């Protein structure tokens, strides 16, 4: 029986058929042989920007996107890196209970539907994978690897919630481009990237991002990454997100939305640490 729907929200968990309908509208024309009008456009103007960030380009940083940058250590060694990569490809970082995903193949263009309980209702939000890449860290020395700037407790394997309790972590980096004469987080990251370029990190990373489509209640892009640091053999899981409200509903409920975004980051990091420990 269909769940009662009010606007973009459901007053119960959407059925498999309702989630499939959202996925169908989000899928690629070539993959599903749909007419062009059935393909939802992106609602985010900087497609693929998280491929080379942080730091952000100056022009994008000036637009005051909300930035979330969270990372935790999940293991050590190249075998752990391969396990973490496999978990990411299986979307195990979305094993959260209150939020789930349709788990499409991790390749550019795959339609993504995130079903989540937030703002006191259920919602199905469409995205599309914008890029997938794997390679050595030296290929892009300007991009900060997960461990640069991470709090000391993160390197000790602390959970994201423990990092925050100890005053570390960067679950909310704030609105970039504000703050008057103060040094912004963007400027700090740019300076760190410039310093890191003199001695590029060694290791390997696997990353992909999904970007919001028209009809999503948020506008933005979210990158998931696992990386191996060849210098100390540590393996990291990282989430890097640019976002802002995509409708008047989420704009009005922005403080509550931010709470759920923080919860997602913490729960996703916990899920990766838990599953990596179980497979060690």
pLDDT in the model for residue 142: 64
Q: Is residue 119 assigned to a domain?
A: no
Q: Is residue 19 assigned to a domain?
A: no
Q: Is residue 112 assigned to a domain?
A: no
Q: Is residue 199 assigned to a domain?
A: yes
pLDDT in the model for residue 134: 94
pLDDT in the model for residue 250: 85
Instruction: Look up the domain containing 133 and give its range.
Output: 42-97+127-279
Instruction: For the chain, list residues with pLDDT below 70.
Output: 1-39, 118-120, 138-142, 151-153, 155-156, 164-200, 280
pLDDT in the model for residue 198: 53
pLDDT in the model for residue 20: 59
- Other C-beta atoms closer than 10 Å to the C-beta of 245 total 17
pLDDT in the model for residue 57: 87
pLDDT in the model for residue 166: 59
* H helix or E strand, kind and range, residue 221: strand 218-229
Using a CB cutoff of 8 Å and minimum separation of 24, what contacts does 251-258 make? 253/119, 256/118, 256/119, 257/118, 257/119, 257/218, 258/66, 258/172
Task: Tell me the torsion sign for CA atoms 98, 76, 279, 154.
Answer: negative
pLDDT in the model for residue 82: 97
Q: Is residue 57 assigned to a domain?
A: yes
What does R_g of the chain's alpha carbons equal in angstroms? Answer: 18
> 144: buried, middle or exposed (CB in 10 Å: 19+, 13-18, 0-12)?
buried
Q: In total, how many domains does the chain have?
A: 1
Q: Is residue 114 assigned to a domain?
A: no
Q: Is residue 258 assigned to a domain?
A: yes
Report residue 41: phi and psi, to 5°: -85, 160
Among 150, 125, 117, 105, residue whose Cα is nearest residue 222: 125
Q: Is residue 69 assigned to a domain?
A: yes
pLDDT in the model for residue 235: 96
């Amino acid at each position: 029986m269909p769940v009662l729907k009010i606007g973009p929200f459901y007053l119960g968990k959407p059925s498999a058929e309702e989630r499939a309908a959202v996925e169908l509208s989000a899928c690629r024309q070539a993959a599903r042989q749909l007419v062009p009008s059935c393909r939802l456009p992106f609602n985010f103007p900087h497609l693929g920007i998280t491929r080379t960030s942080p730091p952000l380009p100056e022009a994008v940083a000036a637009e005051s996107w909300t930035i979330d940058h969270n990372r935790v250590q999940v293991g050590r060694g190249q075998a752990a890196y391969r396990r973490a990569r496999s978990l990411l490809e299986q979307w195990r970082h979305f094993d959260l209970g209150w939020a789930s995903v349709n788990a499409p193949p991790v390749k550019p263009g795959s339609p993504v539907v995130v079903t989540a309980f937030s703002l006191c209702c259920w919602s199905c939000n469409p995205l599309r994978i914008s890029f997938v890449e794997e390679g050595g860290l030296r290929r892009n020395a300007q991009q900060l690897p997960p461990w640069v700037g991470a709090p000391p407790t993160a390197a000790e394997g602390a959970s994201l919630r423990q990092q925050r309790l100890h005053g570390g972590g960067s679950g909310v980096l704030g609105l970039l481009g504000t703050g008057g004469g103060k040094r912004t987080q963007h400027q700090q990251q740019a300076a760190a990237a410039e310093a890191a370029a003199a001695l590029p990190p060694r290791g390997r990373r696997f990353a992909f991002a999904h970007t919001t489509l028209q009809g999503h209640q948020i506008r933005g892009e979210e990158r998931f990454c696992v990386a191996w640091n060849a210098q100390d053999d540590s393996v990291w899981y990282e989430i890097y997100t640019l976002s802002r409200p995509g409708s008047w509903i989420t704009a009005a409920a922005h403080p509550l939305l931010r709470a759920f975004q923080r919860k997602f980051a913490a729960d996703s990091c916990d899920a990766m640490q838990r599953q990596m420990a179980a497979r060690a």
